[in-house]
Amino acid sequence: MSQKPTRHLPVVVIGGGQAGLSMSYFLTQAGIAHVVFEKRRIAHSWRSERWDSFCLVTPNWQCKLPGNPYAGPEPDGFMRRDEIVSYVETYAKSFGAPVREGVGVTKLSRYGARAFMVETAEEKITADAVVMAVGGYHTPNIPRSAERLPANIMQLHSSGYRNAAQLPPGAVLVVGSGQSGCQIAEDLHLAGRNVHLVVGSAPRCPRVYRGRDAVDWLADLGQYDLPVDQHPKREAVRRQANHYLTGRDGGRDIDLRRFASEGMILHGRLADIADGKMHFGDDLVKNLDGADAVYNGICDLIDRHIAEKGIAAPPASRYRPVWQPDNPPTSLDLAAAGVGSVIWATGFRSDWSWVDLPVFDGSGYPTHQRGITTQPGLYVLGLPWLYTWGSGRFVGVGRDAEYLAHHIGARLGAATAEAAA
Ligand SMILES: Cc1cc2nc3c(=O)[nH]c(=O)nc-3n(C[C@H](O)[C@H](O)[C@H](O)COP(=O)(O)OP(=O)(O)OC[C@H]3O[C@@H](n4cnc5c(N)ncnc54)[C@H](O)[C@@H]3O)c2cc1C
């Protein structure tokens, strides 16, 4: 392909998920010409990286895509995977988002002092501004010790899990107790499989407390509007695991102790794999207690709010453990336990290797203030805690997109004025 650009656009948006589409919505409103490049299909992550029984964890009312908030019959319900895909697809159509599906950006670099070169397999476009809305979940984060699993055990990442029937007979061992790991373990447990769950330090949250969804209380408390620079953990909160709970069957707590009392086998954090055995840390008690402490801490927050505002609500309660580990073994002979498959619910890494711009910090995270990067004209959108808790979710991405659209509009306006002077 020639080095010459084929055309110029004021803005290129990279990524056709909810973040890229929200950006496109505000650019469309402002009359700013742009294109959205989507490597696969609109809503790819929801469509292709979630299991069959997947439901939102956040209530439907939090689906606040700008210009098209959730308007269905169940604002307090939790959309299932296919409904989410349809919500996002309908959104793109609602304002004619200029999405080019199946076109991945293979390289992003500077073009002259002020513009960018955006390269795809089909063309090279220059742009005055570029918004990277590619999410943060690119590459399955599977520990290298996976290489030492016996070859007869099927292994897959949580993003490849669909349902219990996809797995060979035998027990299933799920590694990781974040949102995905807990929900997949529950899915398998409900399907009647023997499940082992390797439990880490992820926190948990009540579903319903004192008569309302905890998310509703936390919204009233302003938790979803708190900017990252005012959070007690500051930017470190971006690396924190999500709380586990579920929206399945109308929503409920996820209580690993209850699963254990029903036969699920819980283990401490994965330490090593050797000679057909998995070895675990002796931290199961600590991890379960830690998750419950966060759960009860959220109840404390809600209680204080109710007391301060004098709200009439059902009485306060606290989680009381329904099961305790009894000296759990710190290793498991996989063949003896009949383990036929292992699911790595161990998260994702980001892949920004296609971005040829000096914009990343030492850990490879794009340096930015509320999505405005250190490279003038380059923006990032949709990352967890980009600005608030909701930035990487349906509830907050619209606010961030609107903020960036104003910034982009001002930048393009200033450039036009400069050229005319
Ligand atoms: C298991 C799980 C459960 C979740 N549950 C909830 C929930 O209950 N509620 C909630 O609000 N949020 C939830 N989230 C968080 C969030 O809403 C999703 O991660 C959502 O998909 C993020 O949208 P996005 O547009 O920022 O990124 P993505 O949906 O990941 O979209 C990015 C798009 O960019 C494309 N892309 C990537 N690289 C390129 C490239 N170089 N060129 C062109 N295109 C590219 C990808 O194909 C993709 O379609 C969940 C996330 C996960 C992983």
Q: Is any atom of ligand 1 closer than 6 Å to the C-beta of 390?
A: no
pLDDT number for residue 239:
86
Compute the distance from residue 86 Cα to the ligand 1 centre, in Å: 15
Q: What tokens were used for 78?
A: 């939790």
Q: Is any atom of ligand 1 closer than 6 Å to the C-beta of 56?
A: yes
Determine the Cα–Cα distance for residues 254 and 209; give it in Å rounded to an integer. 14
Q: List Cβ neighbours of 321 (8 Å cut-off, separation of 6 or more).
A: 257, 288, 292
Q: What percent of the chain has pLDDT over 70?
A: 99
pLDDT number for residue 189:
98
Compute the distance from residue 183 Cα to the ligand 1 centre, in Å: 18
Whether residue 1 has pLDDT greater than 80: no
Q: Is any atom of ligand 1 closer than 6 Å to the C-beta of 44?
A: yes
Determine the Cα–Cα distance for residues 107 and 356; give it in Å rounded to an integer. 7
pLDDT digits (tens, 9 = 90+) for 211-238: 999 999 999 999 999 999 999 999 988 8
Single-letter amino acid code for the residue at 29? Q
Compute the distance from residue 393 Cα to the ligand 1 centre, in Å: 8
Q: Is any atom of ligand 1 closer than 6 Å to the C-beta of 15?
A: yes
Do residues 180 and 156 touch, judged by C-beta distance below 8 A? no
Average pLDDT over all residues of the chain: 96
Compute the distance from residue 115 Cα to the ligand 1 centre, in Å: 27
Q: Is any atom of ligand 1 closer than 6 Å to the C-beta of 377?
A: no
Write b or e for each residue in 159-183: b if 16 or more Cβ atoms lie within 10 A of its Cβ, otherwise e.
bebeebeebeebbbbbbbbbbbbbb
pLDDT digits (tens, 9 = 90+) for 39-62: 999 999 999 999 999 999 999 999
pLDDT digits (tens, 9 = 90+) for 349-400: 999 999 999 999 999 999 999 999 999 999 999 999 999 999 999 999 999 9
pLDDT number for residue 406:
97
Determine the Cα–Cα distance for residues 104 and 119; give it in Å rounded to an integer. 9
Do residues 331 and 337 touch, judged by C-beta distance below 8 A? no
Between β-strands 348-349 and 368-369, what pairing exists: parallel, antiparallel or unpaired? unpaired
Q: Which of 386, 380, 257 is nearest to 326 (CA)?
A: 257
| Stretch(es) of the chain classified as CATH 3.50.50.60 | 7-138+350-420, 141-344
Q: Which atom belonging to ligand 1 lies closest to the Cα atom of 397?
A: 26
Tell the residue nearest (CA) to atom 15 of ligand 1.
393
Q: Taken in order 108, 113, 115, 119, is the CA torsion positive or negative? A: negative
What is the CATH architecture of 7-138+350-420?
3-Layer(bba) Sandwich (3.50)
Rg (CA), the chain: 23
Q: Is any atom of ligand 1 closer than 6 Å to the C-beta of 57?
A: yes
Whether residue 298 has pLDDT greater than 60: yes
Tell the residue nearest (CA) to atom 21 of ligand 1.
45
pLDDT number for residue 3:
65
pLDDT number for residue 6:
86
Determine the Cα–Cα distance for residues 185 and 191; give it in Å rounded to an integer. 10
- What is the CATH number that goes with domain 141-344? 3.50.50.60
Compute the distance from residue 170 Cα to the ligand 1 centre, in Å: 32
pLDDT digits (tens, 9 = 90+) for 338-352: 999 999 999 999 999
Compute the distance from residue 259 Cα to the ligand 1 centre, in Å: 29
pLDDT number for residue 421:
67
